[in-house]
Structure 1
C-alpha cells in the first residue's frame, strides 16, 4: 500500500476482532476502512498478536506509522487522589499503584501504568497489560510499522473532544452499548464509570443516570453531557429537556461500520 505525505494507520484492538483504518492529516478526508479480522481466542495476547500480524501483512503496512486503540475492556482506567504534600513522581506512582490494587485486587506488576500525573488534584490513570503491549510492539516492529500512539479508547475519545466540551459539561463515550462516563469537575475528570445501556435508554434514562452518578460522588449534576461513539440518536432529541442537554459528538463518522472499526476511528479527525 503506497503512503502519501500525512497519511497514517489506525488499528482497533478488541477481544476477538481487529480493524485497520487509513487516515490523513490533510484535505479533510474521512478515515478509510482498509480491513477487518475476526479471530478465535478473545482477549488472549497470543491470539491478538497472531491476528495483528495477519492484518498488517495483508494491508501492506510497511513504513506506515500506526496508532493503536485498545478496547476499554482490555485495560484498566481509574482515578487517583494525590497524597497530601506529594512533590515527587514516585509518590504519585505509588498512590496510583495502591489505588489500582484496592480497586482491582491485584498488584501492578503485570501492567504498565500511565497517567496525567498531577500533585495538585486528582488525575486519570490507565493500566495496559505488559504482555499484550510487548506482543503488539514486536509485531509492529517486524512489519516495519512504527507505533506513534497506543491508547485506551476512552482516553483517545476524551483527548479528541475535550476542547469541544463546554464549561461544566461531562463527557461520555458509547461503544457496544456500554456508556463510559467521565465526571468532570473543576476542569478535571473526577471519576470514570462504565454502565451497560438498557433497552430503550432515552434522554430521560440518561438524565436519571447522570443525576445518580453526581449524587454518588457528591458533585453538582451537570446541565450538559457531550457523548461520542455509537450513542442512541434519541439522546440528541429534546436538547431543551429540563434536567439535561445531550450533545452528540462526531455523528455520522463511520456510519455502517462495525464496532471494531468505530473503535479504530476513535481519536481520529472527524
Structure 2
C-alpha cells in the first residue's frame, strides 16, 4: 500500500486537515508546526488534537510529519538566531508530545552563513544536544538539502557528520526530498539503486524515515530548490514512480510538497496510487 499525503494547512485545526487528507485519498499529511516564515504558533487545542488522533487511527493513517519553519537556523553563528531556533524547536517538541499520530518532525539543518560547513555542522549538533532530552516522542528528521548558498546537509556525509555528534542519536533520522536529491547531484533518474546504496553505506537506511516527493523545475546538479508538480519537471513521472516503488522507499510515509492547491494534490495522489500498483 502506498502511504502518501501532502502538505496541508492547519489554520482551521488539525481535525479539519485530517478530513481534508481523507478527501484527497491520503493516509498521512504534513503540517508546519508554526508560521513557516515566522515564530507564531496556533494556540494548543488538546481536544482538536484528540479528534485528529481518533481520525488517524480510524482511517489507518501512518505517521504524520510535522515540519519546522524555515526561519530556524541551528547552523547560524549568530547567537540570537541560534538561541531562538533552539527555544522554538524545543517548544515544538513539547507541543508534539500531545499528538499520538505524529512521530516525526522534518528540520532543515540550516545555513552556516559563510562560516564554513564544519562550523555549521558543529553548531547544529551543539544546538540539538542542548535541546534533546532523550524522552521525546517525536524524532527529528534532518532534511537533505539541494545545496544552494551556504546550506548544510546537501550531501550524505554532512548528514552523517551531524548525526554522529548527537548524544541521543535514536531521536534523529533523515527525510529525503527527491527534488533536493536531484539538484544536489544524486542521480535518482538513472542510478537510483546506487544512490540508495550510497546512503546506506554512509548514513544507514535505518535512519531514513520519510520522503518528500517533488519533481524539479531545474536541471540535475543545479543546486537550486525549485519544486515542480509530479511529471512536469526534469525528474519526470516515470522516475518518480520507480522511486516510490523501490523496496527501500515503498513503505515509508511519502509527502507531496508540489506547487498545488488541495485539489491538485488529490489528482497527484490518485495518479501515483494508480501507477504504484502497476
- TM-score, normalised to structure 2, is 0.34
Largest Rg, 1 or 2? 1
- Structure with more relative contact order (C-alpha pairs < 8 Å, separation 6 or more): 1
Q: When you count strand as a share of all residues, which structure comes out higher? A: 1
Q: When you count helix as a share of all residues, which structure comes out higher? A: 2
- TM-score, normalised to structure 1, is 0.35
